[in-house]
Each structure stands twice: as structure tokens, then as C-alpha cells.
């Protein structure tokens, strides 16, 4: 699957530091600045056409649209003439047109036409605040601040012909992105939160597991007898089969789970928590597997929705709502090794101890 990428040169980007923080900021300013340098998905590729698409990321209104060559352009969703969202307008000849007064902006953000004064000078203030954008894994990713090269989370299986790719619907969660990711990494809740899907109430013990730091986060290898099959299908695994779950974390809010099934088949789940606001998250979950390739995909989707609904019912009720990075703020036990490492990783990014996302 070809990847379309649109990178605006740094010299043409208007940094949020200069233009101001989002108006309705729900993050601590220092946390917002620490998070704004990373890539986050804001839409599915299929949703973004040559019609402006409105999204929200880190409290900022964003408009994304596709150019005639297939690449994606992203900007702050506002016309600086009278403050109307550009997502209300349309795209014509690769120029986005404001619905209010017809101002036209080129892909680099320059205003190139004011219909009321077609021959007049155009103020340099009529320049959109542009963001970097690219596509991968069937998603459109946006980065709000350019501080140098930063890679996307890795999921090479998405373009591997030996795997099938599944892209469930996104889910909005009224919770902090960090709380959601930590819940995805947690291995001691299976027997309790997921007892209706795959958890085993009579098998709650968490064996010791190693955590290895990486340049982008860490890897946790968890091996246990808890089956990954849904109830009703657990007989498909040998009675003594040990399940290997590898969690690979890409800070701040992405974690890839690889589950090895009987026979050596592998399932990959990329859990991407995109922070709409400090306590509102949009969850994107690309899935790949290299087995049961002829099976109907709806069962995979339904199982995924069930498991995440079970998690969300808990995460939305957690208090404090924010993920405490002060390790003395909540109690821990040995099974929490991955979540402790995750919190330390977020703190190393520069997030405050009273982190609000």
C-alpha cells in the first residue's frame, strides 16, 4: 500500500509558540508543548478527500484535505480574516476557499486571492498556520510542532502481503490518553474486566515478566496460560499452551501488541490513543494477522469492539482522571512493571507530575 506524505518545509510553518496556544486549552502549557512534537492520527484515509475535513487534536481545531496529487495538507481550521472555520469551505484547484468571503489559500498556507479586491495587495497576516501531515496504516497523521525528524510508530505488517489488515471504527473515550494506554498495557485485569470476552476468573496470577527500554519507549514480554481466544473457542489451543504477548510502547500514546497463537500465527494490534483534549481521546486500532486469512472479518471486529468496550467502561471511571506520574500518588505491585515504566517514560518526555492527559 503506497504511503502519501505531505511535509511542509519548516521555514513555512507557523509554530504554535508564535501563534499562541489553543484557545480552550485543557492541558498544562508545558504538557501541551511536550506533546505537540509527536504524530497523532486525526482521521481515516478514506475520510479525507478534496473536501475539507474538520478534526481536533490537542485542543486545536485542524482542517485536513487532499490535494490533486493525493497528498494531504493540514492547517489550523481558521481563516484569519474573520475567524470562520475553513472546514466550512471547499477546495478548488488545490486551494482551500473560505466560505465567508471567498479568500483562497495555497497549499503552503499563503492567501493568494481576496475576491473583494482581486488586484489589491495581500497582507502577510493572511497566512494559514500549517501542520505536517502524512498517511500510514490507513490513517491520516498530523504533527503540530516540528522539532526535527520523528518517526511514526512501527507496524511493518500493515504492508506485508502475508498479513490481512483490519481497520475497526474509531472510538471516542471520555478519558485521558495516558489512562487508556496504561490500561491496554495492564496484564492483571484480564480475569476481572474481560471475564465476558476472553478473561479467565480462575486464572488471575500474573507471572513475572521482563521490561526492556528502547529508544522510542520499551518492550514488555508477557508469557502466561491465559488464552487469547474468545470464550467458546479456547479449545482451539492445546491445554498446556503458553501465550506470548509482546507489548511494544511508542511514547507518548501508542502501544503495539503482538500475540503468538498456536501454530505460530501472529496477531498485531496497534493501540493509538489520539488526544483530542486532556480528558477526551479518540482511539484508532489497526489490526493485522497472518492466519485465518479466509475467515470473515466481522467476528474479529466484534471481538475487538467487545474487549475495548470492557476497558472503556473502567477507564472512563478512573479517578483521578489524569494519569499520575508521581509514583507515590498511587500504589503499585509487581504486575504493574509495565505501567510504572510507562509513567517514567512520560515523565522523561517533560510532562509534569500532575500530567493532564
pLDDT, tens digit, 9 for 90 and up, residues 307-341: 999 999 999 999 989 999 999 999 999 999 999 99
Report the alpha-carbon distance of residue 81 to residue 13 in Å, rounded. Answer: 19
Nearest to 32 by CA among 353, 352, 314: 352
Q: Inform me whether the pLDDT recorded for 7 exceeds 60.
A: no
Which whole number is the average pLDDT over 88-103?
A: 96
Q: Judge whether 5-143 and 156-348 match in fold.
A: no
Model pTM score: 0.92
Contact predicate 62/77, CB 8 Å = yes
Confidence of residue 353 (pLDDT cuts 50, 70, 90): confident
> Quick check: 251 pLDDT over 80?
yes
| Section 192-197 average pLDDT | 96
Average pLDDT rounded to a whole number, residues 22-33: 93
Buried b / exposed e over 61-73, threshold 16 CB at 10 Å, is: bbbbbbbeeebbb
**pLDDT of 3 above 80:** no
- Average pLDDT on 268-277 reads 98
Superfamily covering domain 156-348: Naphthalene 1,2-dioxygenase Alpha Subunit; Chain A, domain 1 (3.90.380.10)
Class of domain 5-143: mainly beta
The ranges assigned to domains in the chain are 5-143, 156-348
For the segment 195-224, what is each residue's pLDDT rounded down to a tens digit? 999 999 999 999 999 999 999 999 999 999
- Residue 357 has a pLDDT of 57
Is it the case that residue 2 has pLDDT exceeding 50?
no
Task: For 336-349, give the DSSP string.
Answer: GHHHHHHHHHHHHT
What is the pLDDT, as a whole number, of residue 5?
Answer: 43
Amino acid at each position: 500500500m503506497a504511503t502519501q506524505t505531505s511535509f511542509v518545509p519548516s521555514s513555512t510553518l507557523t509554530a504554535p509558540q508564535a501563534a499562541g496556544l489553543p484557545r480552550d486549552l485543557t492541558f498544562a502549557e508545558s504538557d501541551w508543548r511536550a506533546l505537540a512534537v509527536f504524530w497523532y492520527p486525526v482521521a481515516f484515509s478514506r475520510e479525507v478527500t478534496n473536501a475539507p475535513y474538520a478534526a481536533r487534536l490537542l485542543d486545536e481545531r485542524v482542517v485536513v484535505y487532499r490535494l490533486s496529487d493525493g497528498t494531504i495538507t493540514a492547517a489550523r481550521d481558521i481563516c484569519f480574516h474573520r475567524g470562520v472555520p475553513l472546514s466550512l469551505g471547499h477546495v478548488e484547484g488545490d486551494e482551500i476557499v473560505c466560505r465567508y468571503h471567498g479568500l483562497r489559500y495555497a497549499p503552503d498556507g499563503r492567501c493568494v486571492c481576496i475576491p473583494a479586491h482581486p488586484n489589491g495587495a495581500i497582507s502577510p497576516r493572511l497566512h494559514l498556520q500549517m501542520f505536517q501531515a502524512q498517511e500510514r496504516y490507513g490513517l491520516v497523521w498530523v504533527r503540530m510542532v516540528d522539532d526535527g525528524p520523528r518517526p511514526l510508530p512501527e507496524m511493518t505488517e500493515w504492508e506485508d502481503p502475508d498479513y490481512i489488515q483490519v481497520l475497526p471504527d474509531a472510538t471516542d473515550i471520555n478519558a485521558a490518553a495516558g489512562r487508556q494506554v496504561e490500561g491496554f498495557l495492564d496484564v492483571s485485569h484480564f480475569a476481572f474486566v474481560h471475564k465476558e470476552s476472553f478473561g479467565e476468573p480462575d486464572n488471575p496470577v500474573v507471572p513475572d515478566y521482563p521490561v526492556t527500554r528502547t529508544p522510542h519507549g520499551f518492550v514488555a514480554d508477557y508469557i502466561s496460560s491465559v488464552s487469547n481466544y474468545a470464550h467458546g473457542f479456547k479449545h482451539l489451543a492445546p491445554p498446556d499452551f503458553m501465550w506470548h504477548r509482546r507489548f511494544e510502547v511508542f511514547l507518548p500514546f501508542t502501544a503495539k501488541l503482538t500475540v503468538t497463537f498456536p501454530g505460530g500465527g501472529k496477531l498485531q494490534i496497534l493501540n493509538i490513543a489520539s488526544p483530542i483534549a486532556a480528558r477526551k481521546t479518540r482511539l484508532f486500532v489497526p489490526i493485522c494477522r497472518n492466519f485465518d486469512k479466509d475467515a470473515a472479518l466481522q467476528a474479529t471486529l466484534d471481538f475487538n469492539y467487545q474487549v475495548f468496550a470492557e476497558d472503556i467502561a473502567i477507564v472512563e471511571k478512573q479517578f483521578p482522571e489524569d494519569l499520575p506520574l508521581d509514583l507515590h500518588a498511587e500504589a503499585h505491585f509487581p504486575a504493574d512493571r509495565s505501567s510504572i515504566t510507562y509513567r517514567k517514560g512520560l515523565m522523561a518526555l517533560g510532562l509534569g507530575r500532575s500530567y493532564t492527559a
